[in-house]
Structure 1
Amino acid sequence: MSTAEPFQINVSDDLLSWINDRVKTARIIPDVTHPPNEEWVDGTPSAVMHDIVAYWKEKYDWRSVEKRLNETFKMFTMDIKEGDEVISLHFVHHRSEREGAVPLLFSHGWPGNFLEVESLLKLTNPEDPNAQAYHIVAPSIPGFTFSSSPSKPGFSIPRVASTYHTLMQNLGYTHFFAQGGDWGSMITRSLSNQFPSSLLGIHLNFLVSLPPSALRHPIKIFSLLTRWFTPEEKQKLARMQWWMKQESGYSRIQGTKPQTVSYGLLDSPIGMLAWIREKLQSLAEPSFTWEPELVITWTMLYLLSNSSWHARIYKEAIPNVAKEVLSQKTPYEVPFGYSSFPLDVGYVPRWWAEGAAAENIVFWKEHSKGGHFASVEVPEELIGDLQEFVKVVKEKGDKGTWEKAVKAGQSGRY
């Protein structure tokens, strides 16, 4: 069994100088003049880029950020064999000292990263002494940030999920909860499909689904074909359709020529910044403020990966995700929870999810505020939902299963 090695971020002076030189000499090309409220229709506006690049040049201090990240996150790497690949998997691991704490796996997506788990770390020691506590594990997807990259094509979502499962078993967490959004939701669902006996329950904040089976769910199919949706459901489904038609060009580029686009993005810090900043804008609440330091730090983490897998995951996953993940319902033995945030772009109504996504939905909540990055935009709402979901699982599940979860938490390593 592989062991975990403590990890600290320590970017070389040469690489940091190269990035800083690229930023200092960056050119911001002019934009056309857009009508009011249409400034983002062609991508990240030059005015936005001028401001954030000026911040990067004049105020951003990577060494200070690096120090804070090393002090905030307890990080490790572990070599994990997955098929014919060996991945040096980077992960955050914060153990709770609370009696009765249970393991929780947090899975990020693109253009996010492991930093999205920061708001959840306080769940290792909640303010409420009666609240459930967790041992939190947050891996970086292979090829993202500080996880090594697969050397060959074919490392699709089920293989990422299998790598995560091996990590949890190696950490001593034989039974655990899992939470995810974006690609993390697909990884989480694949975990529940492949390893249902290990999953205590899964909670998602991003949900897409194939249509329900016409043979098994004729009434649901009738509702779907006749567009029998509530006004709120219509609004969320319309946003998802808008995203697919107007905002998903990046996925076609990354999903067809990931290597080519990666040359440009990883050779140009400003190019990567604009690429990421655009998605943050369209995926979040308009009222949410993306602070320059946070956006630049997320950009830095992609630059430091020196890998095309930030783009390649789209080529590996999109052609196969329907067959490998979405065609299988989360089995009944794995309780399923979902939190819907109105500005996200993955959504189906509960009746649709019951017919096609999960056999045992025990928690479902639709919020009035929030977007794609729930743990960053509305962390307290996500934490509250997670705690409610786990409480339902604990109350409805059998005592023996919960005792296994607590025992797994007690036997955790590192």
Structure 2
Amino acid sequence: MSVDGLGLLKSVREFYEAIPLLTKQQPGYNFAFEVIAPSLPGYGFSQGSVRPGLAPPQVSVIFRNLMQRLGFKKFYVQGGDWGSIIASALVTLFPEDVLGHHTNMPVVQNKQATLKTILGAYIPSLVVESHLASRMYPLSDFFAYLMEEFGYYHLQATKPDSVGVALTDSPSGLLAYILEKFSVWTRRDHRHKADGGLEFRFTKAQLIDNLMLYWTSNCITTSMRLYAEEMSRKNQQLELGELPTPVPTWVVQAKYEIMYQPPGILKLKFPNLLGSTVLDDGGHFLALELPQVIVNDIFKAVNAFRNWHKKTTNTEL
């Protein structure tokens, strides 16, 4: 199962190039996948919620029920962006249903992770390997990046309906709003290019396809409400990040992803972290940017999951 990850600036369109590769047996493996790639509620052509309260944990319940209704009593889950947060909630709430968890944006948010991250700011070698330290530190660079690039998050988490009205009224405004993230989140230095480096890895057709999923379905406002629900006090009080999950996990970390956390931090939430693939290329939209790379990693991860189950309990279907 591929949880469409989503966020404001992702859609099922990101997986179009990867899905045919996942459903086809790859060299060296004796399996392939039946892929379920749902849009999040309020994204694309999936109906939005009619009342408050639909945060990532509740979306994970919807997706678990979807898989059950489709006949998948046990399944694998993959996610990036919102998909990583929803997948994390899913493997926390329903660990018995998930055979393996793969993510290309692993993020652990709990007290221990925060303390370790701060400690590493003073002694990086205690937290992260030296050749990867620049992906985390100095923290001042990371916080400067957050201040410069995450204004959209604050707006969508506090005033989703207000900014949503403006974007619903202007196709060119919506295009600019979305493409700006495809520029900067692919490579940070693309902000200095006159054309934003948009065609560095993406075609105009791919970018417009993605735009049209939001424009034709008039879903930009309902998609933004997920940010407000995630940051609501009721959702934050669940503290799902504090609860470890036994589900075997594998991560792939692109060089230009928004943030990096090493295995020592990720294992605070995912103690059965079986592997971490650290790339020297790729950005936030990895499935669209480098589909063969992420597909190769998913096959590698699932092979590890299958072997893990054989060595532990007989849970594999």
Interval of TM-score (by shorter of Structure 1 and Structure 2): 0.7 to 0.9
1:387 to 295, 299, 307: 299
Distance between the aligned counterparts of 2:91 and 2:37, measured in 1? Answer: 17
Identity of counterpart residues, as a percentage? 28
Instruction: Report SS of the residue matched to 1:279.
Output: helix
Per-residue CA deviations over 1:42-95 (Å, capped at 9, x if unaligned) read xxxxxxxxxxxxxxxxxxxxxxxxxxxxxxxxxxxxxxxxxxxxxxxxxxxxxx
C-alpha contact (below 8 Å) 2:74/2:98 kept by paired residues: yes
Q: Give the drift of 1:107.
A: 2.5
Instruction: Report SS of the residue matched to 1:178.
Output: strand
Distance between the aligned counterparts of 2:301 and 2:80, measured in 1? Answer: 16
Question: Greater CA deviation, 172-181 or 129-138?
Answer: 129-138
Query: Quick one: which amino acid aligns to residue 297 of structure 1?
Result: D
Matched, 1:328 2:233: no
Distance between the aligned counterparts of 1:187 and 1:269, measured in 2? Answer: 29
Distance between the aligned counterparts of 2:116 and 2:11, measured in 1? Answer: 40
Q: Give the drift of 1:129.
A: 7.7
Q: Which has the higher contact order (CA 8 A, sep 6+)?
A: 2
Q: Give the drift of 1:202.
A: 0.4
In structure 2, the residue matched to 1:108 is 5
In structure 1, the residue matched to 2:193 is none
C-alpha contact (below 8 Å) 1:213/1:221 kept by paired residues: no
Matched, 1:276 2:173: no
2:217 to 300, 305, 309: 305
Q: Give the drift of 1:393.
A: 1.1
C-alpha contact (below 8 Å) 1:212/1:221 kept by paired residues: no
Distance between the aligned counterparts of 2:26 and 2:297, measured in 1? Answer: 16
Distance between the aligned counterparts of 1:198 and 1:269, measured in 2? Answer: 41
Distance between the aligned counterparts of 2:243 and 2:121, measured in 1? Answer: 18
Q: 1:366 to 1:212 in 2, by over 3 A?
A: farther
- Structure 1, unmatched stretches of 5+, are 1-103, 405-414
TM-score (norm 2): 0.85
In structure 1, the residue matched to 2:91 is 192
C-alpha contact (below 8 Å) 1:157/1:186 kept by paired residues: yes
1:163 to 43, 46, 62: 62
2:286 to 360, 370, 374: 374
C-alpha contact (below 8 Å) 1:165/1:191 kept by paired residues: yes
Distance between the aligned counterparts of 1:325 and 1:219, measured in 2? Answer: 18
Q: 1:124 to 1:290 in 2, by over 3 A?
A: closer
- Could you say which structure has the higher strand fraction? 1
In structure 2, the residue matched to 1:63 is none
Q: 1:329 to 1:385 in 2, by over 3 A?
A: farther
TM alignment of 1:138-287, pairs within 5 A: 138-210=37-109, 213=112, 222-223=119-120, 226-228=123-125, 229-238=128-137, 240-285=142-187, 286=190
TM-score (norm 1): 0.66
C-alpha contact (below 8 Å) 2:116/2:265 kept by paired residues: no
In structure 2, the residue matched to 1:314 is 227
Larger radius of gyration: 1
Per-residue CA deviations over 1:282-326 (Å, capped at 9, x if unaligned) read 101457333222222211111123231221111111345655465
In structure 1, the residue matched to 2:194 is none
Q: 1:218 to 1:279 in 2, by over 3 A?
A: closer
Q: Give the drift of 1:329.
A: 4.1
Distance between the aligned counterparts of 1:219 and 1:159, measured in 2? Answer: 29
Query: Quick one: which amino acid aligns to residue 314 of structure 1?
Result: Y
Instruction: Report SS of the residue matched to 2:35.
Output: strand
- Structure 2, unmatched stretches of 5+, are 191-196
C-alpha contact (below 8 Å) 1:329/1:358 kept by paired residues: no
In structure 2, the residue matched to 1:337 is 250
Question: Greater CA deviation, 124-133 or 137-146?
Answer: 124-133
Aligned length: 296
Query: Quick one: which amino acid aligns to residue 264 of structure 1?
Result: A
